[in-house]
Amino acid sequence: MQVDLFGNLIIEDKPVEKKVVKPSPFSFVNNIADKKYPENLDGFSPYLINLAFSQRQDTVYFANEMNKYHSLPERSQFDFYFHGLPKKPLFAKWAKASKQENLDAIQQYYSCSIKEAQSYLKVLTASQIGEIEEWYENHEGGTNAC
């Protein structure tokens, strides 16, 4: 222990260890939008970046073009977006599959695939769908058997 001129103990500061935080793919999208070039590209995922840019109408062509050249190094892919896209907010909600009810019932009723059931759903009336749902709830041998 050391003492200063006034008799106070001098406590040495221990160096604070910083945890290295790996940036998320969305931070790279923000870097591209804000035109801030990152120091390193650790955590850069070309697949997720292409997916993020494919969610907007004005950037989907860039994502499609980069999908053609997926074998380029990560830095080249980042540079393509960084220098090709204008500086503006590029946040977009991600598209999600719509939940269509009654597909299981239609699929069981007609013994068809999901795609066929989706096409049947477009042409069936509400009363027909109601009858199929009632049958589905009461039929034997399935998961909803009485």
Coil, helix or strand for 2?
Answer: strand
Looking at residue 47, its pLDDT comes to 93
Which has the higher per-residue pLDDT, 87 or 144? 87
Tell whether the model's pLDDT for residue 66 goes beyond 90.
yes
Tell whether the model's pLDDT for residue 95 goes beyond 60.
yes
Tell whether the model's pLDDT for residue 131 goes beyond 80.
yes
* Token pair listed for 49: 């970046």
Position 82 confidence tier, pLDDT thresholds 50, 70, 90: very high
Nearest partner of 79 among 136, 28, 16, judged by Cα: 28
pTM assigned to the model: 0.57
Looking at residue 127, its pLDDT comes to 92
Average pLDDT, the chain: 86
In the chain, what percentage of residues exceed pLDDT 70?
Answer: 93
**Radius of gyration over alpha carbons of the chain, in Å?**
28
Q: Which string of b and e fits 77-103 if b means at least 16 CB within 10 Å?
A: bbebbbeebeeeebebeeeeeeeeebe
What's the pLDDT tens digit per position in 114-126? 899 989 988 999 9
Looking at residue 145, its pLDDT comes to 46
Position 54 confidence tier, pLDDT thresholds 50, 70, 90: very high
DSSP state of 88: S
